[in-house]
Amino acid sequence: GGLLPLGERQFRAGDLAGARDTYMHALELDEANPIIQYKIGYVYVHADDYDTAEHYLLRALELEDDFAPAIAALGFTYRRMAERKEKEVKQQAGQDDAAKSRRLLEISDLYSKAENYLVMALKQAPKLVDEDNESWYGSLGGLYRRRGQIDQAIEAYLNAAAVTPYSSYPFVNLAVLYMQKNDSEKMLKTFKSAERLARAETVARADNYYGYADLFTSQLALQKTAEAEDTFAIVLEISPSPTALGLLRDTLEKLAEVLAEPERKAAIAPYIARLNAAIAASARA
Q: What is the pLDDT of residues 70-86, one digit of tens each?
A: 999 999 999 999 999 99
**At which of 72, 100, 123 does a domain end?**
123
The pLDDT value given to residue 1: 61
Give 250's contacts (C-beta < 8 A, 6+ positions apart): none
* Residues 90, 194 within the same domain: no
In a domain, 221, yes or no: yes
**For the domain that residue 27 is a member of, what is the CATH number?**
1.25.40.10
CB distance 220 to 259 below 8 Å: no
Condensed to tens digits (0 to 9), the pLDDT of residues 160-187 reads 999 999 999 999 999 999 999 999 899 9
Give 59's contacts (C-beta < 8 A, 6+ positions apart): 37, 41
* Residues 192, 278 within the same domain: yes
* Residues 107, 202 within the same domain: no
In a domain, 132, yes or no: no
* Residues 119, 212 within the same domain: no
Q: Which amino acid is at 178?
A: Y
Mean pLDDT of 177-204: 96
**For the domain that residue 276 is a member of, what is the CATH number?**
1.25.40
CA atoms of 247 and 202, how far apart (whole Å): 18
Condensed to tens digits (0 to 9), the pLDDT of residues 113-133 reads 999 999 999 999 999 999 989
**Runs of H (alpha helix) within 92-168:** 97-124, 137-146, 150-163
Question: Which whole-number Å values give the CA distances from 48 to 29, 32, 80, in the listed order?
Answer: 26, 25, 8
What is the DSSP-derived secondary structure letter of residue 71? H
Domain hosting 97: range is 1-123
CA atoms of 212 and 62, how far apart (whole Å): 37
Total residue length of the chain: 285
- Work out the end-to-end distance of the chain between its first and last CA atoms, rounded to an integer number of angstroms: 32
Provide, rounded to the nearest whole percent, the portion of the chain with pLDDT above 90: 81
Condensed to tens digits (0 to 9), the pLDDT of residues 36-81 reads 999 999 999 998 899 999 999 999 999 999 999 999 999 999 999 9
* Residues 116, 188 within the same domain: no
For 9-28, letters b (16+ CB in 10 Å) and e give ebbbebbbebbbebbeebbe
CA atoms within 13 A on the CB side of 197: 21
Question: Which whole-number Å values give the CA distances from 102 to 34, 89, 91, 216, in the listed order?
Answer: 35, 11, 16, 39
* Residues 23, 102 within the same domain: yes
* Residues 110, 194 within the same domain: no
* Residues 31, 114 within the same domain: yes
* Residues 116, 14 within the same domain: yes
* Residues 215, 113 within the same domain: no
Ramachandran bin of 64, using left for φ above 0, alpha for ψ from -120 to 50, beta for the remaining angles:
beta
In a domain, 65, yes or no: yes
In a domain, 138, yes or no: no
**Closest alpha carbon to 79 in 241, 250, 209:** 250
**At which of 81, 99, 123 does a domain end?**
123
Q: What Rg value do the Cα atoms of the chain yield, rounded?
A: 19
**Closest alpha carbon to 278 in 242, 250, 228, 231:** 242
Condensed to tens digits (0 to 9), the pLDDT of residues 221-268 reads 999 999 999 999 999 999 988 888 998 999 999 999 988 888 888 999
In a domain, 10, yes or no: yes
In a domain, 165, yes or no: no
* Residues 118, 214 within the same domain: no
The pLDDT value given to residue 241: 82
Query: How many structural domains compose the chain?
Result: 2
The pLDDT value given to residue 95: 74
In a domain, 50, yes or no: yes
In a domain, 153, yes or no: no
* Residues 219, 104 within the same domain: no
